[in-house]
Amino acid sequence: MSALLVEGVERIAVLRANALGDLLLALPAIEALRRAYPAAKITLLGRDWHARFLRNRPGPVDEVVALPPISGVSSPPDGSSAPEGLYQDLRERRFDLAVQMHGGGRNSNPFIRRLGARITAGLCTPDAERLDRWVPYVPFQHETLRHLEVAGLLGAAAGDIEPRVTVVREDWAELNRTLGRLPRGLVAIHPGAGDRRRRWPPERFAEVADRLHRPAVVTGTEEERDVVERVVAAMKRPARAVIGELSLGGLTALYAACDLLVSNDTGPRHLAAATGTPTVGIYWCGNLINWGPLSRRLNRPLISWITRCPVCGSASTGTGMRECGHRDVSWVGDVSVDDVVEQAWDLLR
């Protein structure tokens, strides 16, 4: 690795301007860059929520530059372009390294190259613009290992492979203000997911929570209110719904205070695991390859082997679930309640 180290590095830009799970699974690679270049300032090119969440939080990122909406970079491919002044401002920072940990590079590699860094590095699909140092982006590779390969292009060696997030005093203060004193033995349930096909049926989450005989919170965003309320309504035991009441920092503290999280494959599962809280996650088989936990002592994935749309029978593709139009039907329905409860009790013991 030492032969790949770049001399005289003072400033590093890392592009990772997407969702919570994306950031968390890139943290081990950013930590590797920090160890390889301990004197360098690392700037995350992200979004507004990155700046709020990472402000004053220990970790490898020194500062966040919140990008405006840029098509395929910090927003969906919608044709929005970056203001020219943004490139000028970023070039004036005189980055030595510009690192693309954002995706295949069709939209992000041209953005990275315009920063004027001495060396660019990152991921490339076959049709993406090449960077100075690159590795191929292939569909089925774990995201953490993918980004560690990128860091390795710059001489950075892997350390911890699971991300870690520090809960800071402000997180605990917000949690206490909002929810007050929490009961001992608390279990969290997170039944939402951005892609509804990754959602386990809400009545099964309710049954799991009831069978654990623990005080429970059911978390979700405002967009997930319906599924959170369905879980709480289906439970025989009382549970506290926490819907959009906490910032991401407050949610970090809540999960850190829990004995267990049971969740779909979504950012909050990664967040809970990053605080050290045990998790049981329900995964579609293809997504487990890219997004599942890499260790099993505290994290137990339950795998659905459904490979065809339960409505029309369309088979999954070489890159994931087929876009057949049935986005409201679960592809993880063959995971049983008994299996989830068994893994939950094993972790709680």
CA 246-294-194 angle, 5° bins: 40
Tell me whether residue 84 is exposed, middle or buried, using C-beta atoms within 10 angstroms of its C-beta: 0 to 12, 13 to 18, 19 or more: exposed
97, 208, 330 from 15: Cα distances, Å: 11, 39, 32
CATH number of 169-348: 3.40.50.2000
Task: Please write the tens of the pLDDT for every residue from 260-306.
Answer: 999 999 999 999 999 999 999 999 999 999 999 999 999 999 999 99
Exposure letters 48-68 (e unless 16+ CB within 10 A, then b): eebeebbeebebbbeebbebe
**One-letter amino acid for residue 133 of the chain:** R
Q: What was the pLDDT predicted at 282?
A: 98
Nearest Cα neighbor of 249 from 164, 166, 163 is 166
Q: What was the pLDDT predicted at 246?
A: 98
2-152 and 169-348, same CATH topology: yes
Instruction: Report how far residue 322's alpha carbon sits from residue 116's, in angstroms, rounded to the nearest whole number.
Output: 39
What DSSP designation does 201 have?
A: P
Q: Give the CA-trace dihedral at 131, 39, 2, 113, to 10 degrees.
A: 0
Q: Please, are residues 4 and 152 in contact by the beta-carbon 8 Å criterion?
A: yes
Task: Please write the tens of the pLDDT for every residue from 78-117.
Answer: 878 888 899 999 999 999 999 999 999 999 999 999 999 9
Residue showing tokens 């030595």:
96
DSSP 59-98: SS--EEEEPPP-BTTTB-SSS----HHHHHHHHTT--SEE
**One-letter amino acid for residue 125 of the chain:** T
pLDDT tops 80 at residue 2? no
- Report CA 80 to chain centroid distance, whole Å: 24
pLDDT tops 80 at residue 342? yes
- Report CA 85 to chain centroid distance, whole Å: 30
Q: What are the phi and psi torsion angles at 169 (to 5°)?
A: -55, -40
Q: What was the pLDDT predicted at 80?
A: 81
Instruction: Report how far residue 3's alpha carbon sits from residue 122's, in angstroms, rounded to the nearest whole number.
Output: 18
Q: What was the pLDDT predicted at 185?
A: 98
Residue 307, phi-psi category: left (phi > 0), alpha (psi -120 to 50), beta (remainder): alpha
Overall average pLDDT of the 185-198 stretch: 97
**DSSP H or E run through 22:** helix 20-36
- Domains of the chain, residue spans: 2-152, 169-348
CATH number of 2-152: 3.40.50.2000
pLDDT tops 90 at residue 182? yes
Overall average pLDDT of the 254-258 stretch: 98
pLDDT tops 80 at residue 178? yes
Residue showing tokens 């809400």:
202
The sign of the torsion formed by the CA atoms of 113, 118, 122, 128 equals positive
Can you read off the two tokens belonging to residue 46? Answer: 């992200």
Instruction: Report how far residue 132's alpha carbon sits from residue 81's, in angstroms, rounded to the nearest whole number.
Output: 24
Q: Strand 187-190 vs strand 216-220: parallel, antiparallel, or unpaired?
A: parallel
Task: Please write the tens of the pLDDT for every residue from 20-35.
Answer: 999 999 999 999 999 9
Q: What was the pLDDT predicted at 1?
A: 62
Average pLDDT, the chain: 96
Confidence category of residue 77, pLDDT binned at 50, 70, 90: confident
pLDDT tops 80 at residue 159? yes
